[in-house]
Amino acid sequence: MLLSEAVAGGPQFFNLVPLVVFFPLIGLLVNLIFGGRLSEVLVGSIASLATGLAFVVAVLLVISLVGHPDGASIALADWITIGELQLRWGFQVDTLSVTMMLVVSGVGLLIHIYAIGYMHDDVRHNGDPSRYRRFFVFFNLFIVAMMILVSADSYLMLFVGWEGVGLCSYLLIGFWYDKGANGIGNALAAKKAFVTNRIGDFGFLLAAFTMFGIFRTFNFDEVFARVPEVAETFPIAILMITLFMLLGVAGKSAQIPLYVWLPDAMAGPTPVSALIHAATMVTAGVYLVARSFPLYAVVPMAQETVALIGGITALFAATIAVAQFDIKKVLAYSTISQLGFMVAAVGMGAVVAGMFHLVAHAFFKALLFLSAGSVIQGVERGEHHVEHSSKQKKSTKGSGGHFDPQDMRNMGGLRGQMKITFWVYLIGALALAGIPPLAGFWSKDEILLEASHLNPTVYYLLLAAAFFTAFYMGRQVVMIFFGRPRSDAAAHASESPLVMTVPLMILAGLSALGGLLNLPWTHTFGHFLEHTIKIEEAVQEIALGEEAAKASISFDPIVAAISVGLALVAIALAWWLYHRRYQEMLSLPPAKRPDDPLRGMLGPVFQLLENKYWIDELYWAVILNPYIAISRFLADQVDWRFWHDWFHDRVIAGGFNALTRLLSIRFDLGFIDAIANGLGSLTGKLAGRMRQFETGYVRTYALSVFLGVVIILGYLILR
Amino acid sequence: MLPVEYYVGLSAILFTIGALGVLIRRNALVIFMSVELMLNAANLAFVAFARAYEAVSGQIFVFFVMTVAAAEVAVGLALIVTIFQNKQSIDVDQMNTMKG
């Protein structure tokens, strides 16, 4: 152990950092090899323990960083050495990466524990308990990949983790690959996520190649050290790198134009949505921009683009969330919107604010997703109850014939049956809406504050997004928990077991108190991160001059008041619409009753939002259908008709056949065989002649002997 | 005393008759007798020359020839009997299985 090496400034555990990768790896191997013989609880416990140990290591690293804030870079192994390219598997231990490790393993641990209970019901509800183990193997694999991503010390190693989490995302979205619309809905969603991410990864790769072309290295420290020099001689290169990287960020962190996969990714089990598609993986893009900040800082145009994309995405997704009915889809669009906040923040240069929001968001969005999972299972239990008590007539409301336990129109009034879930959901929703003193308020306020100074356009976008955020969360809470139950299943819903609710309560506590991390007056988190971003600030100083100094203003009561005021107005509006108006609507006859009060008020606009601005359809029309048409053409006409039918069959196979026919008939039969046959028939003819001498008559032989003797004697006598 | 040419001439005539008999006749027994005739023609020549040159070795050769001829008769007759048993005939032209 390194305790002996501990020098002034406290204990130092930096060498333990590889364990954050290896503990989950061991957990996954144990479950993979022995999991089939273990009970469900044991499988889940092993996976949770593996993540928990990684969390312990992360905590030790934080303790070490308090004494040695500069961190360390630990090389574990050489990976590739080709010429001047030297890649190693190294671990970057600094405040930024350790923050991510802490979030990934901490939130990951809680979600693992929750999943023990959730998946127990889920595998039974979906009818294949054997997939329980697979789930935890994938889950641990995700933690491994995510840890590689956040602990990487070079862009290429980061890319390894980047692809790894993409793979796990694919595997887990398609976890029930045989379910969903037409039996392949989930598989299609997984494919969509994977392909969309590939487009982003393509951008990441281009960025990495360009970077290697300019800097001749992938290592963070070495690249950043040369940034000021390159910025003077070749600024276009850095612009290219940052913009290509932005494409990668847009793919992984679900920003415009590549956000479309995230709502579909809700096909995965709810803990997956919470861990991968809300708390950790999708924040990898934010982390990447934060990590690459020295690059972005020297090209204001790239910063501008990133911030604008984040701001537009935040508002765009927030408006879509207003008109969704699927409980998880609302949260998915909310996640896209909040990721837009973070991307805008790190894009503007407010790295601390962005990372702070990332951490806070991880708490309350994981909480919201897990509570939503609890709600869904509560409703499913209610549905089972209804089915069992009255088998002859099934109550089916909502999407014709098939009961959808995720449709908020089927819920209502769950506050009474699911008390714990209600309270934690309320805390999460208020935190997301930005109500003080919950975590979301502090982090969002910091972003808004920075935006108000750095980029007014983005500030107004984000402010509008914050308003819609509060509105759709208010709408969701009211639709789920208040009013009267709108289906028999909702009326008979029941609370989830403790293994699920305890993690919810812990997350609720974190969501409530997370703001303490970085109160405007103490800036604990900011000072913690400063050690990593201090180089970046030096660069920023060059690029932005006095503007950077302005950004360090800590708290502005006006900004805070505006955002809180808007949030409260939005919540009040949601309450009025969905509590009051909804009750009035219920008095109308069912045929004329709209399913959402906004539908009547907004009309076509609501239709537009409900259909997500028809962006999916637009992508189908503009990209996918032409692409499929081209693929069809290439496959049917070019490949099949031209290459296969004409070139392969006609030219190659036909030519070969003609040649072999020539060889076999003319050459083989006509020449080679003729020689052999000619020899045979010649011998036969010769023998036919010869056999005429053999008469078989004894006297002929005797005569020939006699004549022979006479000739020999005659010769002897006459010579 | 008759000169030796007469004996040799008779011997040649006998040998020629025997040879023609072998070549012309189809009856195996007759061929056999012709062969005996040729042997004895040779014997006659032997003894004629033995007396003319007053050498005994020619007469001794005749004894050997007669012994061998006796053995030859034994084997030959046995063959003829066997052939007759197989073919019900001693016509040598019917023994033409060697015909090509």
What is the DSSP track for A502-524? HHHHHHHHHHHHGGGGG-TTT-H
From CA A165, how far away is CA A174, in angstroms rounded? 14
pLDDT exceeds cutoff 80 at A75: yes
Q: Does A686 touch chain B (CB under 8 A)?
A: no
Residues facing residue A81 across a β-bridge: A86
Q: How far apart are CA A188 and CA A206, in angstroms?
A: 27
Predicted local distance difference test score (pLDDT) of residue A394: 45
Does the beta-carbon distance from B98 to A702 stay under 8 Å?
Answer: no
- Asked if pLDDT for residue A437 goes beyond 90, the answer is no
Q: What is the pLDDT of residues A663-713, one digit of tens each?
A: 998 888 888 999 999 999 999 999 999 888 888 888 888 889 999 999 999
DSSP structural state of residue A273 = H
Confidence class for position A400, pLDDT limits 50, 70, 90: very low
Over residues A215-271, the pLDDT tens digits come to 888 889 889 888 888 888 888 999 999 999 999 999 999 998 899 999 999 999 999
Q: Inter-chain contact B24–A692, Cβ cutoff 8 Å?
A: no
Mark yes or no for CB contact B19/A706 under 8 Å: yes
- Counted residue by residue, chain A has a size of 719
HEC string for A150-204: HHECEHHHHHHHHHHHHHHHHHHHCCCCCCCHHHCHHHHHHHHHHHHHHHHHHHH
Task: Classify burial at A273, counting beta carbons within 10 Å of its beta carbon; exposed 0-12, middle 13-18, buried 19 or more.
Answer: buried
Greatest Cα-to-Cα distance within chain A, rounded to the nearest angstrom? 155
Interface test with A, best of B22, B31, B80, B91 (most A CBs within 10 A): B22
CA distance A350 to A331: 25
The pLDDT value recorded for residue A273 is: 93
| CA–CA–CA angle A348, A351, A357 (5° rounding) | 105
What pLDDT does A193 receive?
A: 93
Closest CA to A155 of A220, A228, A242: A220
Nearest-Å Rg of the Cα atoms of chain B is 17
Write the single-letter amino acid at A59.
Answer: V
Interface mutation vs chain B, best among A698, A709, A713, most B CBs within 10 Å: A698
The answer, yes or no, to whether residue A165 has pLDDT greater than 90, is yes
Q: Which of A27, A540, A122, A58 is nearest to A303 (CA)?
A: A540
Distance from C-alpha of A255 to C-alpha of A283, rounded to nearest angstrom: 11
8 A C-beta contact, residue A104 and residue A171? no
Tokens for A122, please give them. Answer: 């889920």
Using the beta-carbon criterion (under 8 Å), do A699 and B97 form an inter-chain contact?
A: no
Q: Show Cβ contacts of residue A639 under 8 Å, excluding neighbours closer than 6 positions.
A: none
| CA–CA dist B20, B25 (Å, integer) | 8
Kindly tell me the number of DSSP H helices and DSSP E strands found in chain A: 31, 2
The upper half-sphere exposure of residue A358, i.e. CA atoms within 13 Å in the direction of its Cβ, equals 32
What does the pLDDT read at residue A543?
47
Structure confidence by residue, pLDDT tens digits, A556-577: 788 889 999 999 999 999 988 8
CA distance A242 to A134: 38
Judged against a pLDDT cut of 60, whether residue A356 lies above it is answered with: yes
Element (H, E) at A220: helix A220-233
Distance of alpha carbon A443 from its chain centroid, rounded?
A: 24
Interchain pair A696, B100: CB under 8 A: yes
Going from the C-alpha of A691 to that of each of A349, A687, A705, the distances in angstroms are 113, 6, 18
Terminal C-alpha separation, chain B: 55
- Chain A positions touching B95 (Cβ under 8 A) are 696, 698
A154 neighbors A90 (Cβ within 8 angstroms): yes
CB A11, CB A64: distance < 8 Å: yes
Residue that the structure tokens 């990976």 belong to: A79
Q: State the pLDDT confidence band at A534, using cuts at 50, 70 and 90.
A: low
Q: Is A706 on the interface with B (CB under 8 A)?
A: yes
Write down the residue that tokens 């909804």 correspond to.
Answer: A582
Helix A524-544 × helix A351-389 angle, to 10°: 130
Instruction: Work out the mean pLDDT of chain A and round it to a whole number.
Output: 87
Alpha-carbon span A8 to A22, nearest angstrom: 29
User: How buried is residue A679: exposed, middle or buried, by Cβ count under 10 Å (0-12/13-18/19+)?
Assistant: exposed
Residues of chain B in Cβ contact (below 8 Å) with chain A: 19, 22-24, 26, 92-93, 95-100
Count of other CB atoms within 10 angstroms of residue A328? 25
Spell out which residues of chain B touch residue A703, defining contact as CB-CB under 8 Å: 23
- The DSSP code for A581 is I
Query: Does the pLDDT at position A158 exceed 60?
Result: yes
Examine the pLDDT at A553 and tell me if it is beyond 70. Answer: no
Q: Give the pLDDT confidence score for residue A552 in this predicted structure.
A: 52
Contact (CB<8Å) B100/A690: yes
Quick one: pLDDT band at residue A2, thresholds 50, 70, 90?
Answer: very low
Contact B100 A694 (CB under 8 A): yes
Write the DSSP assignment of A505-573 as a string of letters: HHHHHHHHHGGGGG-TTT-HHHHHHHHHHHHHHHHHHHHHTHHHHHTT----HHHHHHHHHHHHHHHHH
pLDDT > 50? residue A539: no
Is the pLDDT score of A55 beyond 90?
yes
Per-residue model confidence (pLDDT) at position A655: 93
Give per-residue pLDDT as tens, A454-469. 888 999 999 999 999 9
CB atoms within 10 A of CB A32: 15
Domains and CATH numbers, chain B: 4-90 (1.10.287.3510)
What is the H or E stretch that residue A82 is in?
A: strand A72-82
ipTM summary value: 0.85
Instruction: Supply φ then ψ for residue A74, to 5 degrees.
Output: -105, 120
Summarised one tens digit per residue, pLDDT across range A608-623 is 888 888 888 898 899 8
Contacts of A193 (CB under 8 A, 6+ apart): A169, A170, A173, A261, A262, A264, A265
- Determine the straight-line distance between the first and last CA of chain A, rounded to whole angstroms: 123
Partner-chain contact B99 A702, CB within 8 Å: no
pLDDT at res. A391: 59
To the nearest whole percent, how much of chain A has pLDDT over 90?
Answer: 50
- Give the model confidence (pLDDT) of B25-57 as tens digits: 888 899 999 999 999 999 999 999 999 998 899
Q: What is the pLDDT of residue A106?
A: 94
Using an 8 Å CB-CB cutoff, list chain A residues near B90. Answer: none
Residue A637 touches partner B, C-beta closer than 8 Å = no
When pLDDT is averaged across residues A326-349 and rounded to a whole number, the result is: 93
Is the peptide bond preceding residue A590 cis, with omega within 30 degrees of 0? Answer: no
- For residue B100, the chain A residues in CB contact (below 8 A) are 690-696
Q: Report CA-CA distances (Å) from A341 to A351, A715, B33.
A: 12, 131, 138
- Provide the 10 A C-beta neighbour count for residue B64: 10
Task: Report the distance separating Cα A107 and Cα A275, nearest Å.
Answer: 7
| Predicted local confidence at residue A585, as pLDDT | 74
Q: Distance between CA A209 and CA A217 in Å, rounded?
A: 10
Closest by Cβ to A702, choosing from B23, B95, B98 = B23
Mean pLDDT of A184-193: 91
Q: Nearest to residue A266, comparing CAs of A333, A216, A201? A: A333
**Alpha-carbon gap, residue A304 to A661, rounded angstroms:** 71
Q: Which of A697, A701, A703, A713 should one mutate to test binding to chain B, selecting the residue with the greatest count of B CBs within 10 A?
A: A697
* Spatial distance between the Cα atoms of A517 and A106, rounded to a whole number of angstroms: 15
Burial of A388 (0-12, 13-18, 19+ CB in 10 A): exposed
Q: Tokens 């009013």 appear where?
A: A483
Tokens, residue A395: 């109550």
Confidence at A550, pLDDT banded by 50, 70, 90: very low
A699 CB neighbours in chain B (<8 A) are 22-24, 26, 92-93
pLDDT grade for A396, boundaries at 50, 70 and 90: very low
Q: Quick check: A697 contacting B, CB < 8 Å?
A: yes
Determine whether the interchain pair A690/B19 forms a contact, defined as Cβ–Cβ distance below 8 Å: no
Q: What is the mean pLDDT of residues A99-110?
A: 94
CB A320 within 8 A of CB A459: no
Looking at beta carbons, which residues of chain B come within 8 Å of A706?
19, 22-23
DSSP state of A85: E
Please state the φ and ψ torsions of residue B46, each to the nearest 5 degrees: -55, -55
The yes-or-no verdict on residue A151 having pLDDT over 70 is: yes
Place A142 in a pLDDT band, splitting at 50, 70 and 90. Answer: very high
**Residue B58 is inside which H or E element, if any?**
helix B57-87
pLDDT band for A392, please (50, 70, 90 cuts). Answer: very low
Residue partners of A273: CB distance under 8 A and separation at least 6:
A265, A266, A328, A331, A332, A369, A373
Contacts of A73 (CB under 8 A, 6+ apart): A90, A91, A92, A93, A153, A221
